[in-house]
Amino acid sequence: MKPMDARSFPITPVAPASARTTKDAAFEYLTTRKDELIGWARKFSLFPYPFVTACCAMEFMAVSASPYDTDRFGAALPRFSPRQADLLMVVGTVTHKQAPILLKVYEQMCEPKWVMAFGVCASSGGFYQNYATLLGIDKIIPVDVYVPGCPPRPETVIDGIMQLQDKIARSRHPIVTERF
Amino acid sequence: MTANDLGTLQRELVPAAGPASVSHGTIVLVLAPGELATTARRLRDEFGFDLLLDVTAVDWPNDALRFEVVHHLYSTAHRVRVRLKTRVGAAESVVDSLCALYGSAAYMERECHDMYGIGFRGNRDLRPILLYEGFEGHPLRKDYPKLREQPLVAYREG
């Protein structure tokens, strides 16, 4: 893991002139942008809801377990209630019969929420094109990051998580108002 | 029971002298729709075929008798398989249910009804099992359009 630099840690400690004489003055004040602060907090506390339907589940286990370890990115603890989750990971093929369930799970998640399409089946239907398969979950719910592969390598998933983290860090976080 | 018993099976079970053969170690009997239930009962009671493995169908769209309903039976005592093929037409694609003989027939017949639209006389619960309520047509029939989808959720715009 890279050492923390100013970009990954947007809070810059500034010691006020009046306090510079005291011993622990360095963290008396912090200056940052509010969106950056909230985004920084959110991007390292993703709570995934694994909507796991098919063989990609094996890769999801691999990427969650210690050799690859999504905990390093703050996305380790799966919540099996959509109300406690903010990252919906759709792992595997979604059929037309399952689509109402997926939509209901998505609608039960609280804002802010993000969606990852894990593997080609969730992204586009993959090699399925028939009466049964939903050709990509983005036909029914918005998707933030698509992870290709059949199944994706753990590195690909981690790259997807990191890209999602960048997206979260760059986003507006309207919870922060002028009264904050 | 060995493959030598094929002649016996054929003589005993297929009075109409439908063709019988051995395919990859499986005895194959071709039956008329009316013979299915009685033949299956005799296979179970007299020949020890105690396990119903599968119920499926084949669609031959150019044949007069379009559907071939296929049952696979297995004898755990003799370790022999038998395949029953029953031809039915598109207008009257109904065969007798084997629910009374084999409990496992109920779900497999439902699946076959889903996929091919075969009716099973005597199976009182032919609701969709793999498909969903409101699905039109039978997707494993050859005339079901390959790309026809029947989504339950409205697609997003764009």
Query: What are B31's strand-pairing partners?
Result: B86
Write out pLDDT tens, residues A125-151. Answer: 989 999 999 999 999 999 999 999 999
B3-121 CATH fold: Beta Polymerase; domain 2 (3.30.460)
Instruction: Give me the pLDDT at residue A27, please.
Output: 64
DSSP A108-157: HSPSS-EEEEESHHHHH-TT--SSSB-S-GGGTS--SEEE-SSSPPHHHH
How far is B156 from B158, CA to CA, in rounded Å? 6
- Cis bond upstream, residue A151 (ω within 30): yes
For residue B70, the model assigns a pLDDT of 95
Across the A:B interface, residue pairs with CB atoms under 8 Å apart total 38
User: Is B156 within 8 Å of A139 when comparing Cβ atoms?
Assistant: yes
Positions of chain A with pLDDT lower than 70, given as ranges? 1-28, 176-180
Substitution target in B114, B149, B155 with the highest count of A β-carbons within 10 Å is B149
What amino acid occupies position A143? Answer: V
Q: Is the peptide bond before A67 cis (omega within 30 degrees of 0)?
A: no
The pTM of the full predicted model, rounded to 2 decimals, is: 0.81
Q: Which of B136, B101, B106, B146 is nearest to B124 (CA)?
A: B106
Å from B138 to nearest chain A CA?
10
CA distance A124 to chain B (A): 14
Considering only the beta carbons, identify the residue of B132, B144, B147 that sits closest to A129: B147
Model ipTM value: 0.80
Closest-CA residue to A121 (of A139, A109, A101, A103):
A139
Task: Specify the CATH class of A47-167 in words.
Answer: alpha beta
What pLDDT score does B3 carry?
47
Candidates B149, B150, B153; nearest CB to A103: B153
> How far is residue A62's CA from residue A45's CA, in Å, rounded to a whole number?
20
Q: Where are the domains of chain B?
A: 3-121
Nearest CA in chain B to A142: B156
The tens-digit pLDDT sequence of chain B (158 residues) is 454 566 666 666 665 545 677 888 888 888 888 889 988 998 898 888 999 999 999 999 999 999 999 999 998 988 888 999 999 998 888 999 999 999 999 999 999 999 999 999 998 899 999 999 999 999 999 999 988 999 999 998 86
A97 vs B151: CB contact, 8 Å cut-off? no
Chain A contact set for B156 (CB, 8 A): 138-142
Question: Is residue B95 less than 8 Å (CB to CB) from chain A?
Answer: no
Q: What integer pLDDT is reported at residue A121 of this predicted model?
A: 93
Smallest Cβ–Cβ distance between A99 and the set B131, B148, B151 belongs to B151
Question: How many Cβ atoms sit within 10 Å of the Cβ of residue B23?
Answer: 9
**CB-based contact, B132 to chain A, within 8 Å:** yes
pLDDT in tens, A45-71: 899 999 999 999 999 999 988 889 888
